[in-house]
Amino acid sequence: MHLLPARPLILALSIAAALSACGGSSNDEPLVIPAAPADQGAAESVAVPTATAFVDTVATNQRGDARYATLDTNAGVRILGGFLSIWKPLTQIVDAGVTAPANGAFPAVVASTWTGVPGDGTPDGTVLNATVHQANIDYVVKATTNRTADQAVQAYLDDRRGKGYSVTDGMGPLTNAYRTAAQQTTTITSVADNATTTLYNDGGNNTGVGGSANASFGNVVDLVGLVGNNASTEPAKRFYKYARPFRWSTSVQLLPALVPAKSTTPNTDGGFTSGHTAEAVRDAVAMAYAVPERYQEMLSRGLELGEMRILAGMHSPLDVISGRMLGIASAAANLADPANAAKKAAAVTQAHTALMAATNTTADTFAAYAQSGTVANDRFADYATNKANYLRRSTFGFAQIAATNAAVAVPKGAEVLLETRQPYLSPDQRRVVLKTTALASGYPVMDDAEGWGRLNLFAAADGYASFSGNVTIVMDATKGGFNAVDRWRNDISGAGKLVKQGTGTLKLAGANTWTGGTELTAGTLQGDSAAAFGAGDVYNSGGTLVANAPSALKLAGKYTQLSGSTTLELDLGGAAAGSQGSLTVSGTATIAGGTLRIKFANGYKPKAGDVLTVITAGSLKGKFTTITVDGFTNVTPNYGGATLTLTLG
């Protein structure tokens, strides 16, 4: 039933109200409205590192040009410079099988004498960190010795097929629609296909058909191609001159079907860095940019392909880690280039138009369809598995060899990598997300000055991991997609304050501990975990707060709900206090009006006469103006000093 105030709102102290309602206790003392959580000051901002930016110098990632032959002058070599603490190449020049004439002040490049075969009696590089180097090769020995039959097949396919074609299966339920729209093809479908011929013999078209030849999807295909500009791994290979693992150790079990693919010119076939990994990662980033509804799954697929290079025996973990770094940086450089702005936008629009048409979905149903796969038909359907694998494949279990608590740097332009995944955030907010979700410092190769090695894009897609200052989130539901609804799954810490504005819905699902409180002024904030709102007060002055946790939503501080267009929605899964969707407030729950809406979840169906304990608090003050319960028109509330129960009629 609707509950009306027994008498007008009055002032007591700052703001107070005396409310009563049918079926309730008296609870008529003047109501003092607490203040909103304190202002925590300006939100955190992340400065651009002072190091020369990869995104500004990506065009220097070339070989065969004397101007770009050194660590200082070649962007692709420079961001992988951490390897120089592990391995000192014979020469620190992009010169393995490379020559180039002098160019102004830059001397001519003379081909290196490096043979690419360790221990053959010719001059080689120098191992500077024997522990890391040995762990790097031993990892491959163990991985190739213990690989399963399924891993062998996947490793073969990921070697021989076009990398763009391979990673597209990260699209899950959208894979067939994507490949059809892109007109992607491959001639490598099993280990038997051309297994005795040379590498790179896929007769398909890798990323598909681009441009005007593919009127409905060519822009998407072009975007995947675009991120490959200036993205070659060859300069790094020719600079670092680090042999492939099967050349370091005969105990590496090279995949038999790939033995014919072994290069006959080891001096131009270095392992560091992995070209397959870099290409797969940058292609996956581009596809994730165009279809952010599969963002984490696509990134997972990119890193999976990198691991397949280890399981094939073709690359070492450090080769693959560096390939991830260069692949992400190359994608960011091209996506951040202002000259590509229109191309990006056209690709995103075209991807959604074509894929929604192919899957018979709408803007409202597309995201759910993209996530509708199961472990039986989508290798990336399990979020927890993806998360664990992404983290594992980021470091491959190396011990940290440097400071583990170094400050996080966020590369210039890296914020573009979240542009479509978190469109409601400003570029600077996305930089903060990248900072707060970064990998720890100290791992081999990964501590580059700009911060590419420590980016954790999987975690970044789950929103902030820490709040500092006032974190104001404005979501416009009319723009659809993630502007309308998003979910953050990180465990959010820090002393900041969350301020939710705009018409969209933000869902919080982490084990959160931030202390500065939460203020909801518009739209919807949904708690999908018991500790969704951290350790501070929650203040609802104009939106809908939803309790959808698998147990009671627990507020560690106070809860305040003002009158007017405020709603508390409890999605109950049981009648008892502490059950799914109920609200538990450690401090005082102050209700100055607004609406309480009760919905039922997971098949729970109470009956007439049942008593639902919906709110428990340290102290309960005030009353709701309106209470609605799905399926019931006669509801009697009972406001106690610490609980609110509802008797269903």
Do 428 and 505 fall into the same domain? Answer: no
The helix or strand, by DSSP H or E, that contains position 646, with its residue range, turns out to be: strand 643-648
**Residue with the larger pLDDT of the pair 588 and 28:** 588
Do 210 and 293 belong to one domain? yes
- Is there a domain that residue 317 lies in? yes
Q: Region 440-468: what's the mean pLDDT?
A: 98
* pLDDT given at position 29: 73
Q: For residue 508, what are the domain limits?
A: 468-648
Is residue 87 located within the same domain as residue 129? yes
Q: Are 620 and 643 in contact (CB under 8 A)?
A: yes
Distance CA 218, CA 350 (A): 8
Q: Is residue 118 part of a domain?
A: yes
> Are residue 571 and residue 487 in the same domain, yes or no?
yes
Do 426 and 539 belong together in one domain?
no
Share of the chain above pLDDT 70, in %: 94
Structure tokens at 638: 């009972």
Q: Give me the residues paired with residue 526 across strands.
A: 507, 546
Q: How far apart are CA 23 and CA 635, in angstroms?
A: 9
C-alpha Rg value of the chain to the nearest Å: 29
**Residue 3 domain flag:** no
Whether 280 and 408 share a structural domain: yes
Q: What pLDDT is stored for residue 195 in this prediction?
A: 60
Check whether residue 416 and residue 501 sit in a common domain.
Answer: no
Q: Are 284 and 139 part of one and the same domain?
A: yes
- Of 387, 421, 436, the residue that ends a domain is 436
Token pair of 64 as six digits: 């065969």
* Residue 41 counted as domain residue: no
Q: Is the pLDDT of residue 14 over 70?
A: no
Q: Are both 353 and 498 inside the same structural domain? A: no
State whether residue 494 is helix, strand or coil.
strand
Q: What is the DSSP letter of 173?
A: G
The alpha carbon torsion through 362, 365, 366, 369 (nearest 10 deg) reads -140
Arithmetic mean of pLDDT, 578-590 = 97
Q: Is residue 309 very low, low, confident or very high in pLDDT (cuts 50, 70, 90)? A: very high
Query: How much is the pLDDT for 307?
Result: 98
The count of domains in the chain is 2
CB 89 within 8 A of CB 128: no
The share of the chain scoring above pLDDT 90, in percent, equals: 92
Please provide the average confidence, as pLDDT, over all residues in the chain: 94
Residue 10, in any domain of the structure? no
**The total number of residues written for the chain in this structure:** 649
**Does residue 8 surpass a pLDDT of 50?**
no
**Domain ends where: 395, 417, 436?**
436
Q: What is the pLDDT at residue 196?
A: 59
pLDDT digits (tens, 9 = 90+) for 375-398: 899 999 999 999 999 999 999 999
79 pLDDT above the threshold of 50: yes
Residue 563 belongs to a domain: yes
Q: Which of 444, 136, 167, 174 is nearest to 316 (CA)?
A: 136
pLDDT for position 27: 54
Q: What is the CATH number of the domain that holds 212?
A: 1.20.144.10
Report d(CA 623, CA 17) in Å as an integer.
9
- pLDDT at residue 259 greater than cutoff 90: no
> Are residues 215 and 259 both part of a single domain?
yes
Query: Which domain-ending residue is among 436, 455, 485?
Result: 436
Are residues 483 and 349 located together in one domain of the fold?
Answer: no
Predicted confidence band of residue 11 (pLDDT cuts 50, 70, 90): very low
Q: Are strands 635-639 and 643-648 parallel, antiparallel or unpaired?
A: antiparallel
Cα–Cα distance for residue pair 366/424, rounded to 1 Å? 19
> Can you give the pLDDT at residue 6?
34
pLDDT category, 28, cuts 50, 70, 90?
Answer: low
Do 372 and 230 fall within a single domain? Answer: yes
Q: Is residue 633 part of a domain?
A: yes
Is the residue at 450 inside a domain?
A: no
